[in-house]
Amino acid sequence: MDLPAGAARDVKALRMRIHNLTYADMVSVQVNGGEWVSLNNSSVAVAEPDKSYGGIGGAFSTLDVTLGLGAGSVVDGANTLSFRFNRSDGVASGFRVLSFNFLDSENRPLLPVSTFVQDDPSRWKPPISDSAAARAGKQLWENAALTPGEFKSSPMIRARCGDCHTRDGRDLKYFCYSNASIVTRSRFHGLSEEEGRQIASYIRSLDAPSPGRPWNPPYQPGPGLDKRPAAEWAAGAGLDWVLEKDGGTLAFLGGLTKETFRPDGNLNLREVPISFQMPDWNHWLPRVHPMDAWGTTFDKSEFAGWYGKTVAARSTAPAFDKWREARRAFLKPYVEGKVNWTLELGVKAYATQLWQLVKTWELTQEYSLESERTWGNTIPEATAPATVNIPDGSAGMGGSALSNEYFDAAWYELQILVNHGNHQHRDRAPVDWVYVIGRSLDLYRETKRPEPARVLTAVIRSMQSTERGIGPKDKMRGWRPRQNVDPSIMVSEVWKPIFAALSADERRAITESMLAAWVEKNEQFQPGEYFSPGVSDDSYSAPESLGGIVGGRVWEQAAAFRAAGVSADVVGRLQKWGRAYMDTAARFRYSDNSRRSGK
């Protein structure tokens, strides 16, 4: 690339955005034939939020990194930048440089945006144009014997391409994997260059949309996503909508007023960007297929059988529910009770979860189940490592507590995005809001990076998950303040480190608005509607570690709300409702005791 005359002396650094930079010293960069620099967390500066999630070798798939350059590294006029793939870890077969630029001392880019032109996937052609090549590629996709790694001497595996990907390969078309990447990965799995070209020709021939990119995380939220056809929703809003700062999310909530927090409102989380990079498609794909992980035990299992039944049922909600339960029963002997967790066992268990997730996406796309931009199942939440008891640490995903907690948070976030209630909550499904929001504390302990705005989006949606107008007498669908996260989260000592990242004015506005909306919703129903004779409302007890943010006894925090700057009027209404609630509770308890004593 060319630097204008006089610009070279201002160059201080090279900024790069690299996809699949997944471990230290995977990639080296060279400027103008100089020394090769291996990229790791010591040799480059990693941008936020990537850095807090472990940087190179951490949780995020795509990283923004900056390499300092010494005087004379670049010249006016033509400069050459070279990249090298140093080694494979047995999983990666390459990386993608998405963008780069030279920076001055003020971090301003010195090359105009017009210097770089993105390739247009709509113009891609099959590597081999005749239809026979596509037919041969289809046969290879369905039947070719593969090795698990890039060396042909590796033992063969039972899984075929369509077993770990979608059965027809539409995921590679949908997320725009290039011909070069398909050929490279085919060779990684022991196929020839020609066979890889045939598979790429087959993928190019598919009649499927191609709105995504390998580096753009599926379902990443962001403005404008709902304006695109529902068939393109899975492509996500793109990496550019992963915010640098968590606080940036607040600007997309529609203001910090009572209206934002109304339980009868409908915050569209698909359009609200967050400072959290969702997993890319590479990290949806299982490292090992269940048939290779568990052998004939999987082949003969009800879990394996339910994939076919779910296909036959055209992916109805009951079929997904039974399939999920079949997976739990299948994995139970391996992951419940006294388990000697190793990294190998963790990878096998997690890969089994991922296989079900990928196949769920496959069926969702194949049967056009996203027309309403929602999923009718809880498979995403069931993909979290915690669901199968994979512990943090060396046996966790990525071999670290941070990466393990990231994947827990990511799949919970995906469940919220694809099925966040929409006033159609049923007991604790499709999202167990108390559990999901509570896990934010576990992630914070690893990243040391509070994300109050992302937590707030979940809190808002949790309050908006029950059906409008249905009161607390309906234990499954109605408003249940005692079994949901309540406004006391804003004054909880346990949650103080999370919300300390907000300004004092933001905390006060959020606290007052949330409390006012919560009280107003409670006032829609008579105190007696919150109780049923002989039925306890105490069936769910949140862990004490969550800091008392569940239980509905918010009025007991009146002093804390006053100290947080909430108006006397709102606190007064809270206390008035609390007294009415407690008086009614006492009468119901007396009535129940009287019945039991025969009076």
Residues 104 and 151 in one domain: no
- The span from the CA of 492 to the CA of 75, in Å, is 57
Residue 597 — very low, low, confident or very high, per pLDDT cuts 50/70/90?
A: very low
Q: Mention every residue, 6+ apart, whose C-beta is less than 8 A from residue 71.
A: 9
For position 538, what pLDDT does the model report? 54
For position 384, what pLDDT does the model report? 97
Q: What are 466's two structure tokens? A: 């029950």
Which of 66-70, 213-217, 402-406, 416-420 has the lowest average pLDDT? Answer: 416-420
Task: Tally Cβ neighbours within 10 Å of residue 525.
Answer: 16
Residue 456: closest CA among 443, 440, 467? 440
Residue 464: closest CA among 231, 177, 198, 265? 265
Residues 98 and 11 in one domain: yes
Residues 95 and 6 in one domain: yes
Residues 180-191: what's their mean pLDDT?
96
For position 484, what pLDDT does the model report? 86
Residues 7 and 74 in one domain: yes
- Asked if residue 111 is part of any domain, the answer here is yes
Q: Mention every residue, 6+ apart, whose C-beta is less than 8 A from residue 544.
A: none
Write down the pTM of the prediction. Answer: 0.95
- Asked if residue 371 is part of any domain, the answer here is no
- Asked if residue 415 is part of any domain, the answer here is no
Residues 567-581: what's their mean pLDDT?
96
Select the more confidently predicted residue: 593 or 76.
Answer: 76
Q: Is 547 helix (H, G, I), strand (E, B) or coil?
A: coil
Residues 99 and 85 in one domain: yes
- Asked if residue 419 is part of any domain, the answer here is no
- Asked if residue 496 is part of any domain, the answer here is no
Does residue 95 surpass a pLDDT of 80?
Answer: yes
Residue 498: closest CA among 413, 559, 437? 437
Residue 590 — very low, low, confident or very high, per pLDDT cuts 50/70/90?
A: low
For position 422, what pLDDT does the model report? 61
Select the more confidently predicted residue: 150 or 106.
Answer: 106
Does residue 187 surpass a pLDDT of 50?
Answer: yes
Residues 78 and 143 in one domain: no
For position 536, what pLDDT does the model report? 57
Strand duo 45-46 + 62-68: pairing = antiparallel
Residue 151 — very low, low, confident or very high, per pLDDT cuts 50/70/90?
A: low
Exposed/middle/buried for residue 506 (C-beta within 10 Å: 0-12, 13-18, 19+): middle
Choose one of 82, 115, 148: the last residue of a domain. 115
Residues 66 and 160 in one domain: no
- Asked if residue 340 is part of any domain, the answer here is no
Residue 526: closest CA among 574, 580, 569? 580
Residues 90 and 188 in one domain: no
For position 150, what pLDDT does the model report? 65
For position 408, what pLDDT does the model report? 97
For position 476, what pLDDT does the model report? 84
For position 353, what pLDDT does the model report? 98
Residues 168-182: what's their mean pLDDT?
98
Q: Do residues 343 and 399 touch, judged by C-beta distance below 8 A? A: yes
Task: Give the HSE-up count for residue 471: Cα atoms under 13 Å, Cβ half-sphere.
Answer: 12
Which of 141-155, 274-288, 291-305, 553-567 has the lowest average pLDDT? Answer: 141-155
Residues 97 and 68 in one domain: yes
Residue 535 — very low, low, confident or very high, per pLDDT cuts 50/70/90?
A: low
Residues 130 and 108 in one domain: no
**pLDDT single digits (tens) 82-93:** 999 999 999 999
Select the more confidently predicted residue: 540 or 284.
Answer: 284
**pLDDT single digits (tens) 160-170:** 999 999 999 99
552: left (phi over 0), alpha (psi -120 to 50) or beta: left
Residues 96 and 142 in one domain: no
Q: Is 500 helix (H, G, I), strand (E, B) or coil?
A: coil
For position 596, what pLDDT does the model report? 47
Select the more confidently predicted residue: 152 or 367.
Answer: 367
For position 588, what pLDDT does the model report? 77
The domain in which residue 60 lies consists of 2-115
Select the more confidently predicted residue: 533 or 503.
Answer: 503
For position 430, what pLDDT does the model report? 84
Residues 545-551: what's their mean pLDDT?
82
Mean pLDDT, rounded, of the chain: 93
For position 423, what pLDDT does the model report? 61
For position 537, what pLDDT does the model report? 55
- Asked if residue 510 is part of any domain, the answer here is no
Residues 82 and 125 in one domain: no
Choose one of 93, 115, 137: the last residue of a domain. 115
Residue 155 — very low, low, confident or very high, per pLDDT cuts 50/70/90?
A: confident
Number of H helices, E strands in the chain: 20, 9
**pLDDT single digits (tens) 410-461:** 999 999 999 865 666 777 778 889 999 999 999 999 999 999 999 999 999 9
**pLDDT single digits (tens) 189-207:** 999 999 999 999 999 999 9
Total domains present in the chain: 2
Q: Is 67 helix (H, G, I), strand (E, B) or coil?
A: strand
- Asked if residue 80 is part of any domain, the answer here is yes
Which of 99-103, 118-122, 550-554 has the lowest average pLDDT? Answer: 550-554
Select the more confidently predicted residue: 592 or 246.
Answer: 246
Choose one of 176, 205, 234: the last residue of a domain. 205
The share of the chain scoring above pLDDT 90, in percent, equals 82
Residues 237-254: what's their mean pLDDT?
97
Residue 539 — very low, low, confident or very high, per pLDDT cuts 50/70/90?
A: low
